[in-house]
Every structure is written in C-alpha cells, then in structure tokens.
Amino acid sequence: MLHVVTLVSHPAHPALRQEHMDALAAHLPAGASVHWLAPHIAADLSVPLDAALDKRQLADHLRASLKGAALDVIVQPAEGRRKKLFLADMDSTMIGQECIDELADFAGMKSHVAAITERAMRGEIEFEPALRERVALLKGLEADIIERVYQERIRLTSGAQELIGTMRAHGTYTALVSGGFTLFTQKVAAALGFDEHRGNRLIVEDDRFAGTVADPILGREAKLTTLISLRDAHKLSHDQTMAVGDGANDLAMLQEAGLGIAYHAKPAVAHAAHVRIDHADLTALLYMQGYNAADFSK
C-alpha cells in the first residue's frame, strides 16, 4: 500500500535539507520518491508500506533517526489525504493564549488560574469542575474587558489564516470547537473564516461576569459529539475528517477523527494522538494533506 512520509519544519526557521530526506530513506523500503512541497520547509516521501503497520510508531522511529533536528514527521496512507471536515480547538491551538488566563489577569489571579488550566489540559483534573472553579474567580469583572483582552492579548497562531483559508477554498467545512468562551470564539472564528464556532457561554448580569457558565459545558465529550454530528450531517466517512488540539479535553475528538493532530500539545495528548506537531506551525496541517506552498490561501 502506498504511504506518504511528510517532513515539515517551521517556515520561520527552514531546516529541512536533502540529508534529512536521505536519513529517512535509509529506514524505508528502497525506491522512495521525493516531492518537495516547499523548499527547505516541507517534503513528501512516497513509499510502499504494509497497510497494517503502526504509523505512529514508524513516525517516532523516523523522528529519532533525525538526531534532534527541528522537524516533524507524519506517516499516513497516500489515498484520502485531503480532508472534508476540520475541527479545531481554540486556546493554545488556533490562538497562542488561554483566554481564561488572560481574563484572570485583570482580576489579579492569573498565576492561580493558569495553574488550574495547566492541570486540566494535562488531564490531571477533570475539565468541567476546573472550568467552573476558574469562572467563579472572574465574578464581578466588567464584561467589556473581553474586547480589551482580545485586542491586547490574543494573537492568532502562525499559519492559522493559511490553514483555514486554504481548506475552505478547497471545499472543507471548518468548525472552531472550544472549551473556552463564545465571547472569544465568535471573534476568532470571524477573523479566520471558520464556517461555525462553538464554545461555553459566560453568564453576564448587569454588565459584569456572574461567576458562572451556562450548562451544558462544552468539554471532552461535547467535542467528540460535535465531530460525529458534523460528520454525519455532511455525510462524510471517518477518513475524511481531521481535528487538531493540544489538551486532554481534545483527546476523544482527536482519536475519533480520521486524522487527529496534537499541536504543540501536552505530553499525554502528544503521545496518544495519530500525529504530533512539535516544531512546525499550523501550515504543517496543509503540507500533511499534500498541499504545496503555492496552493495556500488566506
């Protein structure tokens, strides 16, 4: 069965050289063909492999052969690489920040809230009670602080605009699915051009946060359910779906997707997802689908 091994580096620090391709080829069956997707940034090696092989295990082995080079390695079947449904986490994935931590900074509690966030994203504590605990600490904060946080603190992740623009230009349905808040998802979804967004709703009373979040909470199971419902609504197969995230509440969604990507993720998530991206930016998700840099849209 024909497979593709994709190597990707961060476009701001192009690190991919022919010597890296040769190093990987030495661990693959003879006759692997090379196709460059972007000079010194991304390339494919096409090679026949046993369909039953553990693709994640092979990717780990090939990554180790690169001896610490800042390159990501993805192994997948050549057929069906381009996906028709894409779900993405928001905080620390499509944006570089955790919105609730930035809100907590204005309440003088960033370090405390950030510590809870980190534990929840690592899967050390349950997401829903951790969210309620953190939201309670925002009680009394003026709701219009959202706009200030968004303008001053929130930054789109490198490659996010190209990722969503290119996938939508090629007919993919895109959904931003966050355990964060709709007050932010609506802004990020609009900035990037997502088809839809889902998140948790902060309760506001008299223009201030009430310290509560509306039920039901969108967490691990809701993200999984969203993937399944959108897949069914668009009459797509399992293999036509892709999802990306970084935290423990993303893991069920990532494992259910045809291709689930752990993006600069917590260790447990990076270990369990189909693919891990540790070095590149979000354009890696385009390269792994076989897009050339010349194909990118914004």
Task: Give the residue numbers annotated as catalytic, written as ranges.
Answer: 89, 91
SS3 23: helix
The pairing of strands 202-205 and 208-213 is antiparallel
Q: Where are the beta strands (DSSP E) in 94-222?
A: 173-181, 196-200, 202-205, 208-213
Radius of gyration of the chain (CA): 20
Locate 122 and state its tokens: 């690592």
Q: Which among 189, 198, 215, 206 has a CA at the least distance from the CA of 131?
A: 215
Number of CB atoms found within 10 A of residue 51's CB: 10
The two beta strands, 42-48 and 2-8, are: antiparallel
The β-bridge relationship of strands 42-48 and 33-38 is: antiparallel
CA distances from 100 to 105, 117, 139, 251 (A): 9, 8, 12, 20
How many other C-beta atoms can be found within 10 angstroms of the C-beta atom of residue 30? 7
Element (H, E) at 162: helix 160-169
Task: Give dist(CA 240, CA 205) in Å, integer.
Answer: 42
Strand partners, 241: 85
Between CA 106 and CA 279 the distance in angstroms is 32
DSSP 2: E
Amino acid at 251: L
